[in-house]
Chain A
Amino acid sequence: MNEAREEALFSLANRWFVGSVTFTAALAIVSALVGLIILPRLQSDVVDLKGLWDSICSAAGVAARPSSETPVEATFVTSTVQLNPGRFAHPSAESIARGKAIARTCAACHGGVDGTRAKFPSPNLAGQPAGAIFKQLRDYQTGARVSVVMRQYVQALSEQDALDLSAYYAQARREAEPVRLGMREPPIVAIGSPTRNVPACGSCHGSGDLKIGTPWLDGQPVVYLRAQLAAYASGRRTNDIDKQMRNIARNMSSAEIDEAARYYASRP
Chain B
Amino acid sequence: MINNSRLILAHFWLAFISFAIAIVLGAWQMLIRTPLHSSFGTSDWYFRSVTAHGSIMAYVFPTLVSMGFGYAISELSLKRPLAGVQAAWVGFFVLLAGSVIASLTISAGEASVLFTFYPPLIGNPLFYVGLVLIVLGSWIWVALMSINLRYWKRENPGKPVPLAMYANVASSYLWGWTALGATLELILQILPVAAGLRTTIDAGLARLFFSWTLHAIVYFWLMPAYIAYYTIVPRAIGGRLYSDTMGRVSFILFLVVAMPIGIHHLYTDPEVGAGFKFMHSTLTALVALPTLLTVFTICASVETAARLRGGKGWFGWVKALPWQNPMMLAVTFSFLLLGFGGAGGIINMSYQLDTSIHNTQWVTAHFHLIYGGAIVIMYFAIAYDLWPHLTGRELGNVALIRAQLWTWFIGIVVTTFPWHYVGLLGMPRRMAYYDYSNPTLSPQALSVVVSAVGGIVVVISALLFLAILWKGHRGRRVDPGVYRFSTPIYEPARPLVALHSYGLWLTLMIGLTAVNYGFPIIQMASQGHSVSAVYVGANR
Knowing that A5-B497, A200-B43, A203-B43 touch, tell me 7 more A-B residue pairs with CB under 8 angstroms: A27-B283, A36-B279, A39-B274, A190-B41, A191-B40, A191-B432, A191-B433
Contacts of B496 in A (CB 8 A): 4, 7, 16
Given the known inter-chain contacts A31-B278, A200-B42, please indicate yes or no for A89 contacting B196, CB distance below 8 A.
Answer: yes
Contact B515 A208 (CB under 8 A): no
**Chain A contacts with B in 80-103, Cβ cutoff 8 A:** 83-87, 89
Question: Which of chain B's residues have a CB closer than 8 A to the CB of A215?
Answer: none
27 contacts between A and B (CB under 8 A): A1-B158, A2-B157, A3-B494, A4-B496, A5-B497, A8-B497, A9-B497, A9-B503, A14-B497, A16-B504, A20-B504, A28-B279, A30-B282, A34-B278, A60-B275, A61-B276, A62-B273, A87-B199, A191-B433, A193-B435, A194-B431, A194-B434, A195-B435, A200-B43, A208-B42, A208-B43, A210-B539
Interface centre among B42, B272, B520 (most CB of A within 10 A): B42
Query: Given A5-B157, A10-B504, are A85 and B276 also a contact pair (CB < 8 Å)?
Result: no
CB-nearest residue of chain B relative to A24? B508
B534 within 8 A of A: yes
0/1 string, A25-53, CB within 8 A of B gives 1? 00110111011100110000000000000
Contacts of B501 in A (CB 8 A): 9
Nearest Cβ on chain A to B321's Cβ, whole angstroms: 35
B479 CB–A CB distance under 8 Å: no
Q: Known contacts A14-B498, A24-B511, A84-B199: does B275 contact A40 (CB below 8 Å)?
A: yes
Smallest CB gap from B511: residue in A: A24
Residues of B with C-beta under 8 A to A7? 496-497
Cα–Cα, bound, A177→B511 (Å): 67
CB distance from A137 to the nearest CB of B (A): 19
Check if B42 sits within 8 Å of A212, measured CB to CB: no
The number of residues on chain A lying at the interface, defined by a beta carbon within 8 Å of a beta carbon of chain B, is 55
Q: Could you give, for residues 191-233 of chain A, a 1 whenever the CB lies within 8 Å of some chain B CB and a 0 otherwise?
A: 1011100001011001111111000000000000000000000
Contact between B275 and A35, CB atoms less than 8 A apart: yes
- Give B515's nearest chain A residue, CB to CB: A28
- Judge whether A115 is part of the interface by a CB distance below 8 angstroms: no
In the complex, what residues of B have CB within 8 A of residue A34's CB?
Answer: 278, 282
Contacts of A56 in B (CB 8 A): 275
Check: B536 CB closer than 8 A to any chain A CB: yes
Given A4-B497, A10-B503, A191-B432, does the pair A86, B275 have CB atoms closer than 8 Å? no
CB of A187 closer than 8 Å to a CB of B: yes
**A5, A16, A61, A206 — which one has the most chain B CB atoms within 10 A of its CB?**
A61
- Docked Cα-Cα span, A203 to B536, in Å, equals 10
A215–chain B nearest beta-carbon distance, Å: 12
Interface residues in B246-281 (C-beta closer than 8 Å to A): 256, 271-279
Q: Flag whether A183 is at the interface (Cβ < 8 A).
A: no
B491 an interface residue at 8 Å Cβ cutoff?
no
Which residue of A is nearest B122, CB measured? A85
Closest to B520 in A: A61
Q: Which of B420-477 contact A (CB under 8 A)?
A: 431-435, 438, 440-441
Chain A residues numbered 87-141 whose CB sits less than 8 Å from any CB in chain B: 87, 89, 129
Query: Which chain B residues border A32 with CB–CB below 8 Å?
Result: 275, 279, 515
* Number of interchain pairs (Cβ within 8 Å): 154
* Given A56-B275, A61-B271, A195:B497 Cβ within 8 A: no
Contacts of A86 in B (CB 8 A): 196, 198-199
The reply to whether A209 and B273 form a contact with Cβ atoms under 8 Å apart is no
Given the interface contacts A4-B494, A86-B196, does A209 sit within 8 Å of B435 by beta carbon? no
B residues apposed to A, CB below 8 Å? 40-44, 157-158, 196, 198-200, 256, 271-279, 282-283, 286, 431-435, 438, 440-441, 494-501, 503-505, 508, 511-512, 515-516, 519-520, 523, 532-537, 539-540
- Interface residues in chain A, defined as those with a beta carbon under 8 Å from any beta carbon in chain B: 1-5, 7-10, 14, 16-17, 20-21, 24, 27-28, 30-32, 34-36, 39-40, 56, 58-62, 83-87, 89, 129, 185, 187, 190-191, 193-195, 200, 202-203, 206-212
Best-buried of B41, B498, B499 by chain A (most CB within 10 Å): B498
Give the Cβ gap from B168 to chain A, nearest Cβ, in Å: 20
Shortest Cβ gap from B163 to chain A (Å): 15
State in angstroms the CA–CA spacing of A20 and B43 once bound together. 51
Name the CB-closest residue of B to A2. B158
Could you tell me the distance between the alpha carbons of A185 and B512 in the complex, rounded to whole angstroms?
53
The closest CB in chain B to the CB of A208 belongs to: B42
Contact A85 B533 (CB under 8 A): yes
Contacts of B283 in A (CB 8 A): 27, 31
Residue of B nearest to A61 (CB): B273
Residue in contact with A5 in the complex, picked from B158, B272, B523, CB distance below 8 Å: B158
Bound: A221/B501 CA distance, A? 73
Name the 5 nearest CB pairs between A and B, nearest first. Answer: A61-B273, A59-B275, A35-B278, A16-B498, A86-B199
**Given A3-B158, A85-B199: A31 in contact with B282 (beta carbons within 8 A):** yes
On chain A, the residues within 8 Å of B274 by CB distance are 35, 39-40, 58-59, 61
| Complex alpha-carbon distance, A31 and B284, angstroms | 12
A216's nearest neighbour on chain B, judged by CB, is B540
Give the distance to chain B from A174, nearest Cβ to Cβ, in Å. 15
